[in-house]
């Protein structure tokens, strides 16, 4: 068993850390305050090949592995969780399915712009009545000659307000249940009948847009179909497995910020004539944070390693996402407790970390669904 990173993995991690500390972290509070999409930062991430880390170089990506992706995403999310999820969705939920299921022509047309950082992608799955149960999806795709006609609305779509491309799930056979779902690649900038609807006001990750995508008799070319008709649900499951690794990395990054800031505060804040880090009650909180975050990071790296080595990783991804998000939520609550009144004020970033941490327990599959996924794999002997 080897826990040592390769030279390339260390290089990616260190590059991401330097960039995040110098360029992202100083602006994170302002992004949160103004709800401003970090366009310039995203552009720079693209130039550093961090928006398509595991995409082959021939399609505009970094040509690295998923372990490198996790390491970089932890560093970016540590500096700003909003920027982290923008990066995660483009890598995991857009670039991955186009790379995995797209034709050569689709990869050149739809993958290269987003993997190279020139454009952003999003993933259109969730609807008002179809979240954990995608079989309830109502968005339809009807074949009309050489085109597909799309009608429906997608909700809570990360990057939806700024994305140029979308991997979209729609029903192509209403009577076939899960087997009636297909995936499409949509050029949002050049699709008549598409518009961005409501952009949500949220608790956290405020610099990351969460939008409604509205399709009203939107017409797509026949070659917009991703893979074969009826394979959308199967594609979706694999895509979400990878996405959960990304959210686990995001959660670990948030948790790392919580621990660092809580530790620094505890060493400098004095009560009863000595730093509060000398009190056992505070030490135990810090010890629990550090231990659980290390465990969460190892679970996340294991899931990424399994994906890189083409081994089953559904259970590992669900474990990493569930555990990392739960751990980080607990850490952020304890971080506020350590800072006391200051932790509750916007003068310190701790309250932002708690607001950002909560969504990690919800998106890419709620943690209740993660427990079902883990249990299903255990029962099947996987």
List, for residues 100-127, the tens digit of each pLDDT value.
999 999 999 999 999 999 999 999 999 9
Architecture of domain 122-232: Beta Barrel (2.40)
Report the pLDDT value the prediction gives residue 1, as an integer from 0 to 100.
Answer: 74
Quick one: pLDDT at residue 132? 85
- CB atoms under 10 Å from CB of 120, counted, come to 27
Architecture in CATH of 239-379: Up-down Bundle (1.20)
pLDDT digits (tens, 9 = 90+) for 225-261: 999 999 999 999 999 999 999 999 999 999 999 999 9
- Sketch the domain layout of the chain as residue ranges: 7-119, 122-232, 239-379
- Specify the residue for token string 């950082």: 117
Catalytic (active-site) positions: 364
Question: By three-state DSSP, how is residue 261 classified?
Answer: helix
- Select from 327, 336, 253 the least CA-distant residue to 25: 253
Q: Rounded distance, CA 174 to CA 135, Å?
A: 10
Please state the pTM of the whole predicted model: 0.97
Question: 165-171 and 121-124 as β-strands: parallel, antiparallel, unpaired?
Answer: parallel
pLDDT of residue 302: 98
**CATH top-level class of 7-119:** mainly alpha
Residue 348 is given by DSSP the state S
State residue 135's pLDDT score: 79
In whole angstroms, give the CA distance from residue 116 to residue 19.
18
Output the pLDDT for position 301: 98
**CA–CA separation, 142 and 122 (whole Å):** 22
Q: Residue 134: what pLDDT?
A: 82
Low-confidence ranges of the chain (pLDDT < 50): none
Q: Write the DSSP symbol of residue 135.
A: G
DSSP calls for 23-63: IIHHHHHHHHHHT---HHHHHHHHHTT-SSTTS-GGGTS--
pLDDT of residue 236: 96
User: What pLDDT score was predicted for residue 133?
Assistant: 86
At residue 274, the 3 state secondary structure works out as strand
pLDDT score recorded for residue 130: 85
């Amino acid at each position: 068993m080897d826990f040592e990173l390769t030279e390339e993995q260390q290089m990616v991690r260190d590059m991401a850390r330097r960039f995040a500390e110098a360029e992202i972290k100083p602006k994170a509070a302002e992004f949160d305050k103004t709800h401003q999409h970090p366009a310039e930062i995203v552009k720079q991430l693209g130039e550093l090949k961090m928006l398509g880390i595991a995409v082959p170089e021939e399609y505009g990506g970094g040509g690295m592995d998923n372990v490198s992706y996790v390491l970089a995403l932890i560093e970016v999310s540590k500096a700003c969780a909003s920027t982290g999820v923008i990066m995660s969705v483009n890598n995991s939920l857009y670039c991955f399915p186009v790379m995995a299921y797209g034709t050569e022509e689709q990869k050149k047309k739809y993958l290269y712009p987003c993997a190279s950082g020139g454009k952003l992608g999003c993933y259109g799955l969730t609807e008002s009545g179809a979240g954990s149960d995608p079989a309830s999806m109502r968005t339809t795709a009807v074949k009309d000659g050489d085109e597909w006609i799309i009608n429906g609305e997608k909700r809570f779509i990360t990057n939806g307000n700024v994305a140029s491309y979308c991997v979209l799930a729609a029903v192509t056979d209403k009577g076939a249940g899960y087997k009636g779902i297909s995936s499409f690649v949509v050029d949002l900038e050049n699709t008549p009948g598409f518009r961005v609807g409501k952009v949500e006001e949220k608790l956290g990750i405020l610099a990351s847009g969460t939008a409604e995508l509205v399709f009203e008799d939107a017409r797509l070319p026949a070659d917009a179909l991703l893979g074969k008709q009826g394979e959308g649900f199967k594609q979706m499951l694999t895509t979400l497995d990878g996405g959960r690794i990304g959210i686990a990395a995001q959660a670990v990054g948030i948790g790392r910020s919580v621990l660092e800031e809580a530790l620094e505060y505890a060493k400098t804040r004095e009560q009863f004539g000595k730093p509060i880090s000398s009190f056992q009650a505070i030490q135990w909180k810090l010890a629990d944070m550090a231990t659980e975050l290390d465990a969460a990071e190892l679970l996340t790296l294991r899931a990424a390693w399994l994906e890189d080595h083409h081994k089953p990783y559904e259970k590992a991804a669900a474990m990493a996402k569930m555990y990392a998000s739960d751990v980080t939520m607990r850490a952020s609550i304890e971080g506020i407790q350590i800072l006391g009144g200051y932790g509750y004020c916007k003068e310190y970033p701790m309250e932002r970390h708690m607001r950002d941490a909560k969504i990690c327990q919800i998106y890419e599959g709620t943690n209740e669904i993660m427990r079902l996924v883990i249990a299903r794999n255990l029962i099947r002997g996987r």
